[in-house]
Amino acid sequence: MEYVTLSNGLKMPLLGFGVYQVPDLAECERVVSDAIQTGYRLIDTAQAYGNEEAVGRAIQKSDIPREDFFITSKIWISNFGYEKAKTSIEKSLARLQTDYIDLMLLHQPFNDYYGAYRALEEYYKAGKIKAIGVSNFSPDRLADLAIFNDITPMVNQVETHVFNQQLEAQKTMAEYGVQIESWGPFAEGKNNLFTNETLVRIGKQYNKTAAQVALRYLIQQGIVAIPKTVHKERMTQNLDIFDFSLSDEDMADILQLDKGESQFLSHVDPETVKRLSAFTID
């Protein structure tokens, strides 16, 4: 495994395993156990996914030392605000069966995210969270947090894949020393990513799939990626991307695939704000 070093010196695996849309606890525990057996140590969950408990059980049953894992979770909108965020962090720690969380993010840029971020800072200073950050924050909101808080966010997890490469957003992240992390590195198959002509052609040179090329493109630029699958053979394929490098020509060709816009939703659309904010959790 290769790593990136966050602004506070913490090492984070470049490739991890995400559990979005695996709400069934038994199924989630199974797939996380499979991922751990395959070699993943970065496991990404969230309060909104409803499966922190399953992630915690799978890690506990693995008999692998806790310090070998890099566990990420996220505080949901309805838990924002200083006091509510603190309570939710304690619940996440309990569900994950751990004394500390490696990375805790604010899941969306809505509601009282300032109060929630102050809670993150407090838990970070207490050592119960090893790194703090945000998810889905646009460049302006990221800059706002970075300027007006004691601790600059260390990670921003945003939709990043070959069709939405976040080129402008990455400039702001670089300015403030924020590590970019990709959710949806396969764009959930949109635009026929798995059969894309450019990715397939490049993959044939290295005996790799289009999916492996798409992942390699991200990590080769130092972008952390957390692909999700419930199939163990695909977990293995996704991890098998560290034995080749894309050429400058390959990288230039893939750059041309960028559409420069979300393939899912716009976080500046008021309807998106209303829809996400209507979802509440304990």
Residue 282 lies in a domain: no
The domain tally of the chain equals 1
User: Containing H/E element for 104?
Assistant: strand 103-106
Query: pTM value?
Result: 0.96
* Residue list, annotated binding site for substrate: 107
The Cα–Cα gap between 181 and 183 comes to 7
Which DSSP string corresponds to 128-191?
Answer: SBS-EEEES--HHHHHHHHHSSSS--SEEEEE-BTTB--HHHHHHHHHTTPEEEEESTTGGGGG
Is the Cβ–Cβ distance between 27 and 172 less than 8 Å?
no
User: Containing H/E element for 5?
Assistant: strand 3-5
Element counts in the chain: helices (H) and strands (E): 11, 10
Q: What is the pLDDT of residue 275?
A: 94
Residue with structure tokens 């991307």? 241
Is the Cβ–Cβ distance between 208 and 241 less than 8 Å?
yes
Residue 202 lies in a domain: yes
Residue 109 lies in a domain: yes
Residue 56 lies in a domain: yes
User: Containing H/E element for 224?
Assistant: strand 224-225
Give me 122's structure tokens: 């407090």
Look at strands 70-75 and 224-225 and give their pairing: unpaired
Q: Determine the 3-state secondary structure of 18 from DSSP.
A: strand
* Secondary structure, 3-state, 20-74: CCCCCHHHHHHHHHHHHHHCCCEEECCHHHCCHHHHHHHHHHCCCCHHHCEEEEE
CA proximity to 115, closest of 147, 84, 71: 84
Give me 43's structure tokens: 């496991």
Residue 112 lies in a domain: yes
Residue 235 lies in a domain: yes
Q: Which range marks the domain in which residue 148 is found?
A: 3-277
Look at strands 17-18 and 11-13 and give their pairing: unpaired
Is the Cβ–Cβ distance between 206 and 249 less than 8 Å?
no
Please report, for the domain that includes residue 67, its CATH number: 3.20.20.100
Q: Determine the 3-state secondary structure of 264 from DSSP.
A: coil
Q: Determine the 3-state secondary structure of 110 from DSSP.
A: coil
Q: What is the pLDDT of residue 216?
A: 98
- Which residue out of 3, 20, 40, 49 is catalytically annotated? 49
In order along its 282 residues, the chain shows pLDDT tens digits of 999 999 999 999 999 999 999 889 999 999 999 999 999 999 999 999 999 999 999 999 998 999 999 999 999 999 999 999 999 999 999 999 999 999 999 999 999 999 999 999 999 999 999 999 999 999 999 999 999 999 999 999 999 999 999 999 999 999 999 999 999 999 999 999 999 999 999 999 999 999 999 999 999 999 999 999 999 999 999 999 999 999 999 999 999 999 999 999 999 899 999 999 999 997
Q: How many whole angstroms from its chain centre is CA 171?
A: 19
Q: Does residue 49 have an active-site annotation? A: yes
Residue 265 lies in a domain: yes
Return the sign of the alpha-carbon dihedral for residues 200, 202, 205, 207: negative
